[in-house]
Structure 1
């Protein structure tokens, strides 16, 4: 059966030097999600664009998301469970950093609720891997581990790798591609949605407080 790999960039998109752009050239059947304004991180709009991408694919879809795109991918996957083969979620942004209207403005006198209440907290019915780092300015490792646990995702801590983007040296990213291929290979070897987290830091975590990363 033919599979599609849907690339879901984060806030500001992924430029020509980004690992997601490199992935598009390396992975057969890969294409970037369309219909998103990368400068306006509005979760319902982004998630709908991902759903549309899943619906227009001819077969099961692998989602390869980065940063804010991870939140949109997870929300979309939660309503398209039968169509999603698996998810690679790299440096997922902390939903506490965003509101339903976009990026949180800490200087504003009106504090809107964060996106956390809208992010699924139940296991995804597909193999999933959360790749996180110890010094990501957009999310603390403890928060990434909490969400990985909620989604039933395996957590891969790759150390001090920043936001795992161009600024942190992640253009061509062979290790990331190897992780993606391993995730695909594991699809038929484990119960759906039951990849066990290998990191101790996700054991028994409480919901994260608002992060300042």
Structure 2
């Protein structure tokens, strides 16, 4: 029996993921990983980002696993609340709090986070010292979404500055969705 390899779609947050970010490194590691390319990384509009994600998922011929970081997680939640597409699963890393003091003012349309149960397997990953979303906030989202909740310790916003390289622990979590 032949195994079908899922397509990984990475969904970066505002300002995109730079060369040292684990999402970018995973795209280099996994030939089945591609980035959802937004028109404007610096001034995100939720409806536009959701439409771009919808189009990216529609174009896939293999089962899809979404790999979201930061604002990409909120984009994924808004997308899941309105799409008719089905996916295999999602890894949501560093879910920001749109009501938090550090939430980017340039992000429009993200004021309210959809909190419906996600219709696919999902894992929310949290750092205990993320400046954009508290552990309590991320745990609340994970519970509402029906997601497994994983705390990895003090790694800030789980980005390039966290020094995670290829982020092996994240790859183990991703494998649970495959």
User: Same-fold call, TM > 0.5?
Assistant: yes
C-alpha separation between the residues in 2 aligned to 1:114 and 1:11?
Answer: 12
C-alpha separation between the residues in 1 aligned to 2:29 and 2:174?
Answer: 11
- Aligned residue for 2:136? 142
Q: How far does residue 81 in structure 1 lie from its aligned partner after superposition?
A: 5.3
- Aligned residue for 1:160? 154
Q: How far does residue 38 in structure 1 lie from its aligned partner after superposition?
A: 1.1
TM-score, normalised to structure 1, is: 0.75
C-alpha separation between the residues in 1 aligned to 2:37 and 2:109?
Answer: 27
* Paired residue secondary structure (2:14): coil
Query: Are the equivalent residues in 1 in contact too, given 2:70–2:96 (CA < 8 A)?
Result: yes
**Greater fraction helix:** 1
TM-score, normalised to structure 2, is: 0.88
- Aligned residue for 2:55? 52
Query: Are the equivalent residues in 1 in contact too, given 2:47–2:109 (CA < 8 A)?
Result: no
Q: How far does residue 171 in structure 1 lie from its aligned partner after superposition?
A: 2.7
Query: Are the equivalent residues in 2 in contact too, given 1:131–1:157 (CA < 8 A)?
Result: yes
C-alpha separation between the residues in 1 aligned to 2:68 and 2:110?
Answer: 20
Q: How far does residue 167 in structure 1 lie from its aligned partner after superposition?
A: 1.0
Q: Does 1:37 align with 2:40?
A: yes
* Paired residue secondary structure (1:96): coil
Query: Are the equivalent residues in 2 in contact too, given 1:59–1:83 (CA < 8 A)?
Result: no
Q: How far does residue 87 in structure 1 lie from its aligned partner after superposition?
A: 0.5
C-alpha separation between the residues in 1 aligned to 2:84 and 2:7?
Answer: 15
* Paired residue secondary structure (2:8): strand
CA RMSD of aligned residues (A): 2.1
- Aligned residue for 2:122? 128
Structure 1 residues 49 and 113: alpha-carbon distance in aligned structure 2, compared to 1, 3 A threshold: closer
Query: Are the equivalent residues in 2 in contact too, given 1:51–1:77 (CA < 8 A)?
Result: no
Q: Which residues of structure 1 form unaligned runs of 5+? A: 106-111, 185-213
C-alpha separation between the residues in 1 aligned to 2:160 and 2:38?
Answer: 23
Query: Are the equivalent residues in 1 in contact too, given 2:58–2:85 (CA < 8 A)?
Result: no
- More displaced 10-residue stretch of structure 1: 1-10 or 174-183: 1-10
- Aligned residue for 2:104? 103
Structure 1 residues 16 and 93: alpha-carbon distance in aligned structure 2, compared to 1, 3 A threshold: same
* Residues matched between the structures, number: 173
**Which of 50, 70, 77 is 1:67 aligned to?**
70
